Structure 1
Amino acid sequence: MNKSPYYAPTGGHPPQTQLTADRAVFTEAYALIPKGVMRDIVTSNLPFWEGTRLWVLARPLSGFAETFSQYIMEVQPEGGSDKPELDPQAEGVLFIVEGELTLTLAGERHTMRPGGYAFIPPGSHWQVRNESSAPVRFHWIRKAYEFVEGLDVPKAFVTNEQDIAPNEMPGTEGRWATTRFVDPGDVRHDMHVNIVTFQPGGVIPFDETHVMEHGLYVLEGKAVYHLNQQWVEVEAGDFMWLRAFCPQACYAGGPGPFRYLLYKDVNRHAALKF
């Protein structure tokens, strides 16, 4: 099996000789969970999943207005679930970072490998199994779908990022590009999960300040992020959660591309009552 280009945690624990201070940060505007935090001691389990553990990267928190949850799932050979999602209102995205996953969605089997991407609408019937001889690791992003009268729920689909041409940002000469799995004009979708790629030296040249909150998992490379007037170094395996309106910009440091899996909430009115 070819080595995956994406970073995936494997757990374990550091030695007693390691310094305890790390880069982890939690503020009122953003959080940084560095890859070194994802150890055995912080894994969890889920009902009706066999041979599986997970790292919870994001979850809704009172006062922090999170719209989503994000897990890194680790499924051992012969593991998986015939009843993975217990919330009928939840939509989901799966993105494979290592290994091979068999997804059965609406009765159709799909073999997903690194770069594999699946959108799963709310109320779907689906199952996952690791039928290979090595662990499979993948991101599972979940959101409570916001139904709108007169709009159909978007349909399920399975693809791979290798089959989608990135869209270059205008005026960047290809230094900044986004792999979009969903048409931004399709308002049936209330979340986008994309892959953003910066070539060495590429930048977001201003502090973006907007209503969409983000989950960013660094798949490859390293960069410096400007978050709410603070500079934060990030590398492959790190996760950032950015609250709505958190100012954000970045500079890709090289020597290779800087790439991350990006979640954002889109295409819905702001709720006026809670």
Structure 2
Amino acid sequence: MVAKRGLGKGLDSMIPEKIGNISKEEKKTEPNNVSRETLININEIEPNKSQPRKNFNEDGILELADSIKQYGIIQPLILQKKDKYYEIVAGERRWRAARAAGLKKVPAIIKNYTTQEIMEIALIENIQREDLNPIEEAIAYQNLISEFNLKQDEVAERVSKSRTAITNSMRLLKLDRRVQQMLIDDMISSGHARTILPIEDGDVQYHIATKIFDEKLSVRETEKLIKNLNKNPISKKQEVDNSIYIYKDLEEKIKRIIGTKVTINKKSKNKGKIEIEYYSEEELERIIDLFENMEQ
């Protein structure tokens, strides 16, 4: 028999199990404190700004929207009343799908939580559904620790993970930003990322991460690569530096043409993206006009 999966005390303890429209816990409270499932206008609902999940798969949202059109929302959203709107405590993915499905109202339970409880519930729900990428999860742990002065073992207890798992997750935030983005984009795995961590130089980290993606290296092959790098760090560093100089040179050339900051981010051997910054609507229009004139 497979054991039922759970995290810490789980959402069941923070969002009580319901009997009909009233929970077991709420039956013991005074009538005016009873939280009942109700229908809320979807336009009166806003997402939680502290939601740890920042990336939502649009295809998955549309698939859920199709399911909602057929069967409705099976599990109600958990909301908290603010001044002029309701804030989502749990269920942002369902809310997004409901909007895509064209629903005017959604079933919800209105509860009152502290800011810390809201963050914990959102984190637990996403971990249980495996919805967070490794960086989102690490940032969520870091926010709980920094904002509420929790220790790593206290966070571990709340989400039913080992203290080591929390530590290893948060170590990923020491990676170069470009490497973190590659992890978010699923270009490298968490195993690859942990192998790169002992390297302190961000440019070298990024160089190795790109090599992993380009050559489809396994974690074991990456470990061998790191060992060879440690034996001959100078030549590898020079190789990275040369690559950096080439891209910096190209960035300056484009900057002189466009007249604003340009960043080239290499993602793979022959692919990448160019970011062009603008600081006002007028400047954006100027850049667009510049490109249009180039076509003539």
Q: Which structure has more RCO (C-alpha within 8 Å, separation ≥ 6)? A: 1
Give the number of the structure whose residues are more often strand, by fraction. Answer: 1
| TM-score, scaled relative to structure 1 | 0.24
Give the number of the structure whose residues are more often helix, by fraction. Answer: 2
Give the number of the structure whose alpha-carbon radius of gyration is greater.
2
| TM-score, scaled relative to structure 2 | 0.23
